[in-house]
Amino acid sequence: MQVTIQAKLNKEHIQYLEKCAAHTAKRRGELLRALLRGEKLNELKKTFIAEKGMMARQFNSLHSEVKGIIKAAKELQKINVEDAQRRSKSLKRSIKKLSKALAGNKKDTVSEKKEQRKKLHFVLHHKKRKLRNVENRIEKLKKRGICLGGRKLFKKQFHLEENGYENHQKWLEEFRAKRGNRVFFIGSKDESFGNQNCQLLGDKLRVRVVPSLEREWGKYVNIPVKFSYKQETISAALKSQKAINYRFVKKGSDWYLFVTTKEKPAPITTKKELGTIGVDLNHSHVAFAETNRHGNLTNYGKIHTPIQDRSSEQVTAMLAEACKEIITLAKKQQKPVVIEKLDFSKKKKDLSAQKVPYRRMISYFAYKKFAFLMKSQGARNGVEIIEVNPAYSSIIGKYKFAYFWGISVHIAASFVLARRALNYSERLPARTARCLPVDRHCHVWKYWAAFTKIAASNRGSQVELFFCSRHIPF
């Protein structure tokens, strides 16, 4: 398990860090352009060592960082292009449908009245305009390159006065500072103290100075550092000769050190034989339900996490606190935690066709981050995290458990997840199954799929109240 420890550095060596970061930023840009041009790595390494004032291991650190930047940019480009193409296909379907309606192929849709035809023309015009913009965006995304320092800040140079710059030189200073705000040293388990160029010796960090700066700063620079937490993890990594990566990052006027290494996960202390704790994440809260070994409900609750209109740091902090509370309960009860195995990238295919509340929920959803936090905290505390298929968990919870136990739909959904980890099959209640044909060879989810359609068509009616009412225990 990978772990990262952060520490704030004092301002004693700011001048060296800024010079080193500026030198690294220049070499990072040169290496990035060379790799994008397709130049050979071995030839580049020889050139950077002989002419650019770098050591072999320092070049390896720089190459590792640049390779990660290129890989991330390509993945992001692929995701953005695919999303734009899905939106283009959706718009083309809408345009085709509206065109048929205007042509009179669907008499139920188009009326003879001029106002209705005018509205359809208006909608069709804007759909075509959106399609043209989306197709232009696809072409731009395919040609888009990588901008070190940020594309947003780069574009500000074309509107200096509007963005508060006195002249182009002021913007250039900020842009260079943004590009040169970090230094990375890659580690290896074969090297002494886990890293050749940056080594933690007691309470000081010995950094190998790049050859081009040796005349001014000497061969090594010793930076005092103090960790407020996870000191035992770093000590264990040094003793066992594990690879340790060091990253210096500037935030505002301060410099921070990020130490990344591998930590052995805690031994699992939870047992599924005692029961499970199901967790259901929603856009405003986290619902959980605890079961015993027989799958019966023993405890439940909600943890409020209003992530809408919050920054990324605030969302992470709220979700981390919710995970901590659930992991603490699981550790106390010695029961594993059950979460959904979801991919919200598929649900974001066509948000324009959905209602506003649903679009807002999916846009603000941070399930991937929640699952990562839950797994990392579970590994540190010896709590097993089980992922299950969430198919029909909400519909099963609503029509089978919510009204019967007097709990909310979200808590009922988490209860279904907890039971599913115990391999309980949720058959339809006898009273609810009366509306479906009998076919004993079908999987139980096929019944729930058919019932979902019936419930959706009768939402808010007396039929739905009949399905949801308390029935004989099952």
Round to whole Å and give the CA distance between 27 and 33: 10
Contact 21, 247 (CB under 8 A): no
Contact 288, 270 (CB under 8 A): no
Which strands form 277-281's sheet, in the order they lie side by side?
297-304, 285-291, 277-281, 337-340, 385-388
Round to whole Å and give the CA distance between 258 and 382: 25
- Whole-number Cα distances in Å, 339 to 99, 150, 420: 45, 36, 10
Q: Which stretches of the chain score pLDDT less than 50?
A: 105-106, 109-111, 350, 462-466, 470-474
Contact 280, 340 (CB under 8 A): yes
β-pairing, 277-281 vs 337-340, is parallel
Give the pLDDT of residue 465.
46
Contact 381, 331 (CB under 8 A): yes
Give the pLDDT of residue 230.
86
Q: Residues 290-321, buried b or exposed e (16+ Cβ, 10 A)? A: bbeeebebeebebbebebeeeeeeebbebbbe
Contact 186, 58 (CB under 8 A): no
Q: Exposed, middle or buried by CB within 10 Å (0-12, 13-18, 19+), for 437?
A: exposed
Sign of CA dihedral 213, 215, 217, 219: positive
Question: In sequence order, what are the residues at sequence separation of 6 or more whose Cβ sits closer than 8 angstroms to the Cβ of residue 38?
Answer: none
DSSP annotation string for 390-450: -TTHHHHIIIIIIHHHT--HHHHHHHHHHHHHTT---PPPTTTGGGS---TTS-HHHHHHH
Give the pLDDT of residue 432.
61
Crossing angle, helix 56-103 and helix 114-143, to 10 degrees?
Answer: 160
Q: Domain 272-426, CATH 3.30.420.140 — does that match?
A: yes
Nearest-5° Cα angle at 214, 209 to 220: 40
Give the pLDDT of residue 246.
94
For residue 164, which amino acid is it? Answer: G
Which strands form 198-201's sheet, in the order they lie side by side?
198-201, 204-208, 220-224
Contact 194, 187 (CB under 8 A): yes
Contact 22, 14 (CB under 8 A): no
Question: In sequence order, what are the residues at sequence separation of 6 or more whose Cβ sits closer than 8 angstroms to the Cβ of residue 67?
Answer: 35
This prediction's pTM: 0.75
Size of the chain in residues: 474
> What residues are paired with 198 via a beta bridge?
207
Q: Around 293, how many Cα atoms within 13 Å sit in the side-chain half-sphere?
A: 6
Question: In sequence order, what are the residues at sequence separation of 6 or more whose Cβ sits closer than 8 angstroms to the Cβ of residue 262?
Answer: 1, 2, 3, 237, 242, 243
Round to whole Å and give the CA distance between 414 and 438: 28
Round to whole Å and give the CA distance between 94 and 88: 10
- The SS3 assignment for 249 reads strand
Return the domain boundaries, the chain: 1-264, 272-426
Round to whole Å and give the CA distance between 100 and 88: 18
Contact 59, 43 (CB under 8 A): no
